[in-house]
A and B are shown apart, each in its own frame.
Chain A
Amino acid sequence: MIKSLDPRVTRAEIEIENPIAPLNELDQWETYEVFHQKKRGDQHMHVGIVHAPNAEMAFLFGKEQYGRRGFSVNIWVVKTRDVFASEYDDSDIFDTVPEKQYREAGGYKVMEKINKYKKGV
C-alpha cells in the first residue's frame, strides 16, 4: 500500500505495483463538439470537444470544460460524427466568392457618375 504525503492517496489503499489491462477502444467514449454562447444576442461559437457517452453527459462536461469561467448563457453539444464538414483540400470551392463584387455594397460606386452628371448640367 502506498503511504503518501497525500492523505487522499493513503486512504484509497493503492498498491504501488498495480498493473491494469489497457483501456479498450471507446473506453473514453465518442466525442461531441461544443458550441458556447457568451450572452444573449451573440452567435454560438465552437469552443472544442468533450468525450461523453450521451448528449446529457456531453452537456455536463461541456458546461464544466467551457462554461466555468466568465459569462455563459447557452451551450449546444453535437455529436462529432453528425457534423458534415468541407475539406480544406477543397477550399477552392470558395475561390470565386471574393470576385463576386455584385454581391457587395462596395461593388456599387455611383458618386463618380453623379458628380460627372452634375458638372454636365
Chain B
Amino acid sequence: MYGNAYIDPNDKAAAMLAGEDPQKLDAFEKRIAAGEKIEPKDWMPREYRKQLIRMIEQHAHSEIIGALPEGTWITRAPGFRRKLALMAKVQDEVGHAQLLYSAAETLGKSREAMINDLITGKSKYSNVFNYPAFTWADACIIAWLIDAGAIINQVANAKGSYGPYCRALDRICTEESFHLKYGHDNVVTLATGTQKQREMVQGALTRWWPPIMHFFGPSDKISNHTEILMRWKVKMASNDDMRQQFLNMYVPKIWDLGLVLPDPNLKKNDAGIWEYTEPDWEEFKKVINGGGPCNAERLAVRRNAEERGRWVREALNTSESKYIVPLA
C-alpha cells in the first residue's frame, strides 16, 4: 500500500488500481498486451481477480439454473430421440457449470462458497432463466436463440486473458454447437409444420423476445473502469456490440421461417446497424433483483437439491480429505 493517498470515491478507475505495485502491474499488463495468458498463481491486481470471480461464478450459476427451464420438458419431449437429445443438452449445461466453477475456484473462492451465494440469492445468474418455459416450443426457442446468444458471449470471452476460463470456454463452445443445431432443427420443424405448430412456435418467440433482447445487458457506460477491464481482457466486447452481432446473425434466420418478431422498429439501417425499440430495462432490473416470474422457484429447487443430497455427500466424505486450490 502507498500510505493513505486520497482516492476520489467517484473515480472508480483510480480506486480499482489503488495500492497495486506499479512494477507488477506493468509486467502484468505487458503480458496481457503480448497476448499471453494469466495463470492461477500469477500475480494479478485485486480488481482483476474480483471481477473474474464475479463473472465466472455468475456464468456457472447460469448454466446450472438454465438446466431448470429446459429440464421442464424432458418428461414430455415429443418423441424418444428428442427426449434423448434434450437430456444430453441438459447434462451438458450442468457439466458446463462444473467446468466454470472449477475455473473460478482457481482464483481462490471455494465451490461451497459459490453455491452458498447462489442459494441465498447473493450471486446473480442470467436473467433469462427466471422466465418459464410454458410449452415445448419455449424449450426449442431457448435451445436455439438463448444458446446462440450464449455462444456469441462465450466465443468473445474465450479470447480473454485468464487461462482457466479460456480453457473451460473452449470446451463449452464445442459442446454448444450441438445445442444450437438441435434448437434450430426443433424450431424449423415447428415452423414448417402444421398451423398449430406454427402458432406454438410464434407464441414462444413472442414471449422470449424481450428476455432475449435483455440477454446481453444494458448499453455499457463508457468509463475508465470498463476501459481497464477491456485492457485486461476481462471484458471482451461491449454489450451493444454483442447484441448487434446476435441480431445480424439470427434475425434473418428467424424471418426466413416467416416468423414475426414483436418489435415494429426492428430493421437494419443503411449503415448496417440494427435499429430496435429500446428494451424495458426497468423490467430487467426488477427480474434480476428477484422479482421475475420464476426467481423464487429456481432458488427453492436449487436449495432443495443441495439439502436432499447433503447426507449422501457427507456419508461419502472421508476425514482425510483436504481441499487445496486446483492447479489450472
Interface residues of A (CB under 8 A from B): 2, 4-9, 12, 14-20, 22-31, 33, 46-51, 53-54, 57, 64-65, 68-69, 80-81, 83, 85, 87-89
CB-defined contacts of B248 to chain A, threshold 8 Å: none
Contacting residues of chain B (31-56) with chain A, CB-CB under 8 angstroms: 39, 41-43
Give the residues in chain A near B316, CB-CB below 8 Å: 29, 53-54, 57
- Contacting pair A29 B313 (CB below 8 A): yes
Chain B residues touching A, range: 35 or more
Give the residues from 283 to 328 in chain B that come closer than 8 angstroms, CB to CB, to chain A: 296-297, 300-301, 303-304, 306-307, 310, 313-314, 316-318, 321-324, 326-328
| Residue in B115, B120, B297, B322 whose CB lies within 8 Å of A4 | B297
A-B contact count (CB 8 A): 127
B322: chain A residues at CB < 8 Å are 30, 81
> Is B110 in the interface zone, CB < 8 Å from A?
yes
User: CB of B207 within 8 A of chain A?
Assistant: no
Q: Residues of B contacting A31 with CB < 8 Å?
A: 102, 105, 323-324, 326
Of B116, B301, B324, the residue contacting A23 (CB under 8 A) is B116
In chain A, what residue has the closest Cβ to B321?
A30
| B313 CB contacts on chain A under 8 angstroms | 27-29, 53
- Residue B71 lies at the interface, judged by CB distance under 8 Å to chain A: yes
Nearest B residue to A57 via CB reads: B316
Given A27-B112, A85-B327, A6:B300 Cβ within 8 A: no
- CB contact between A16 and one of B134, B168, B300, B323 (< 8 Å): that residue: B300
Cross-chain contact A2 with B72 (CB below 8 angstroms): no
Given contacts A53-B317, A81-B322, contact A28 B41 (CB under 8 A): no
Q: Are B296 and A27 in contact (CB under 8 A)?
A: no
Closest Cβ–Cβ distance, residue B101 to chain A (whole Å)? 9
| Shortest CB distance B40–A (Å) | 9
B68 lies within 8 A of chain A by Cβ: yes
Closest Cβ of chain B: how far from A49's Cβ, in Å? 5
By beta carbon, the residue of chain A nearest B40 is A88
